[in-house]
Amino acid sequence: MKEGWKNWEGKKVFIILKNKRVYSGKVIEVEGDSPLCWITINDKFGKRIGFSVEEIELIQEEEER
């Protein structure tokens, strides 16, 4: 899914990681290729958070409000 992860840049997302942590925010950067692909988001609290795509259990786009 090399090309696909880049499609999330700029989108508001809801993410559940395999460790059951839940994040909501806007994807600001996608770097690298699977399995070394990293996503960085600004979460709903304004914090910058990054993680490997291998950690993601669920990612879905949220509607802008």
Per residue in 30-60, pLDDT (tens digit) is 998 766 899 999 999 999 999 999 999 999 9
* SS3 state of residue 11: coil
User: What was the pLDDT predicted at 34?
Assistant: 65
User: What was the pLDDT predicted at 33?
Assistant: 75
Calculate mean pLDDT across residues 16-28.
97
- 40 and 50 in contact (C-beta within 8 Å)? yes
Q: What is the CATH architecture of 2-61?
A: Roll (2.30)
User: What was the pLDDT predicted at 32?
Assistant: 86
What pTM was estimated for this model as a whole? 0.85
- 2 and 50 in contact (C-beta within 8 Å)? no
